[in-house]
């Protein structure tokens, strides 16, 4: 049978999603399970097997030629293993081998979720038509991926473009990764909320203390909320500028929940970027919001698998 579909898996700390994706990026069949993140390795793999089992039960399964996985990181694409920070039961878990077995011997490509999102934005989203792009996911963490010379560049381990752990504050706060002053420690959603609370912002009657609530306050003119987003934007701008200066980029695409703040983030981000990305060849660098939405992980897992074949 003609194999024109990719079986895509998007593995995160809260859900495991799967789909059969066609050559236009449409999702033909979907399946999803919550991630039993606090349970052991086999329980988590059981959820992956259930998602795959649902896809395999579809009459379309015979058209699937290979499997693409985008996983919360870190991943080791060379070894075929994953160690997602938010799934403690999986450390150096041999996901590629296990999925290969479950999926009846189909070949499996593995990338980090930031690389998958980048593949999706380059294929069908905001980075489409740009040969040199950095795409960022700013959410609970800060991840990313790179397209250089028109090609997705995950690096040998599948983690290239992981901008969240570039240090932009030499003597800054210690980061769980072991370094100091990382972009993630300043710009992630939880850190935007923490900084706002530390500086006197208080949530409304609903008690919502998330970065999204801080964004609502910023839009209403709360100066502490505005300042917390400006600081996040500054860290992102410094990281983007460093990457663009090294890699000669055309565009930085910013997605993830924090990007949902809109102008509260993007206005100071573009302003800060002009302060850090100063060399003549960086004048063309633009910043755009991601457009692929919640399916970016699945579309990206398929796109990465196609790009890396």
* Among 6, 95, 175, 303, interactor with Zn ion by CB under 5 A: 175
Shortest spacing between CB 63 and Zn ion, in angstroms: 41
Shortest spacing between CB 207 and Zn ion, in angstroms: 29
How would you classify the pairing of strands 107-112 and 64-71?
A: parallel
Cα–Cα distance, 133 to 71 (Å, whole number): 21
> At 76, is the secondary structure helix, strand, or coil?
strand
Residue 174 within binding range of Zn ion, rule CB under 5 A? no
Phi, psi (degrees; rounded to nearest 5) at 225: -65, -45
Burial class (CB in 10 A: 0-12, 13-18, 19+), 203: middle
Residue nearer to Zn ion on the CB measure, 25 or 181: 181
Cα–Cα distance, 75 to 53 (Å, whole number): 23
Residue nearer to Zn ion on the CB measure, 216 or 242: 242
Shortest spacing between CB 303 and Zn ion, in angstroms: 27
Residue nearer to Zn ion on the CB measure, 18 or 143: 143
Do the beta carbons of residue 138 and residue 236 sit within 8 Å? yes
Which regions of 26-114 does DSSP assign to beta strands (E)?
27-34, 64-71, 75-76, 81-82, 107-112
- Supply 34's token pair: 């919550």
CA 113 to chain centre: 5
Count of residues of this chain found to bind Zn ion when the rule CB under 5 A is applied: 5
Quote the Cα angle for 7-293-241, to 5°: 110
Residue 168 within binding range of Zn ion, rule CB under 5 A? no
Residue 85 within binding range of Zn ion, rule CB under 5 A? no
Shortest spacing between CB 43 and Zn ion, in angstroms: 29
Cα–Cα distance, 203 to 194 (Å, whole number): 12
* Among 179, 198, 202, 262, interactor with Zn ion by CB under 5 A: 179
CA distances from 38 to 4, 41, 273 (A): 36, 9, 39
The DSSP 8-state label assigned to residue 257 in this structure reads: G
Residue 177 within binding range of Zn ion, rule CB under 5 A? yes
Residue nearer to Zn ion on the CB measure, 136 or 182: 182
Shortest spacing between CB 131 and Zn ion, in angstroms: 29
Q: Which stretch binds Zn ion (CB under 5 A): 83-91, 132-140, 167-175, 253-261?
A: 167-175
Residue 165 within binding range of Zn ion, rule CB under 5 A? yes
Residue 182 within binding range of Zn ion, rule CB under 5 A? yes
Residue nearer to Zn ion on the CB measure, 183 or 211: 183
Residue nearer to Zn ion on the CB measure, 55 or 175: 175
Residue nearer to Zn ion on the CB measure, 7 or 258: 258
Residue 69 within binding range of Zn ion, rule CB under 5 A? no
Q: Which residues bind Zn ion (CB under 5 A)?
A: 165, 175, 177, 179, 182
């Amino acid at each position: 049978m003609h194999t024109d579909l990719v079986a895509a898996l998007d593995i995160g700390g809260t859900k495991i999603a799967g789909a059969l994706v066609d050559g236009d990026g449409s999702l033909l069949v979907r399946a999803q399970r919550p991630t039993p993140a606090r349970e052991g390795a086999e329980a988590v793999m059981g959820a992956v097997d259930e998602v795959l089992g649902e896809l395999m039960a579809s009459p379309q399964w015979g058209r699937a030629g290979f499997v693409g996985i985008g996983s919360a990181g870190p991943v080791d694409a060379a070894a075929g293993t994953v160690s997602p920070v938010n799934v403690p039961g999986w450390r150096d878990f041999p996901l590629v081998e296990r999925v290969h077995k479950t999926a009846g011997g189909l070949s499996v490509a593995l990338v980090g979720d930031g690389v998958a999102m980048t593949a999706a934005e380059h294929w069908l989203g905001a980075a489409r038509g740009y040969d040199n792009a950095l795409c960022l996911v700013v959410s609970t963490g800060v991840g990313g991926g790179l397209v250089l010379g028109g090609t997705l560049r995950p690096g040998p381990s599948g983690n290239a473009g992981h901008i969240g752990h570039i240090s932009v504050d030499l003597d800054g706060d210690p980061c769980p990764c072991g370094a100091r002053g990382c972009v993630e420690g300043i710009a992630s959603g939880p850190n935007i909320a923490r900084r706002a609370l530390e500086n006197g912002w208080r949530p409304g009657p609903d008690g919502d203390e998330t970065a999204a609530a801080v964004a609502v306050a910023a839009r209403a003119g709360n100066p502490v909320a505005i300042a917390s987003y400006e600081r996040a934007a500054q860290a992102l701008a410094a990281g983007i500028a460093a990457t663009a200066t090294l890699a000669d980029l055309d565009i930085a695409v910013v997605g993830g929940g924090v990007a949902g703040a809109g102008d509260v983030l993007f206005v100071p981000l573009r302003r800060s970027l002009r302060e850090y990305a100063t060399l003549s060849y960086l004048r063309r660098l633009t910043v755009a919001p991601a457009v692929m939405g919640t399916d970016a992980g699945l579309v990206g897992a398929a796109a990465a698998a196609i790009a890396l074949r």
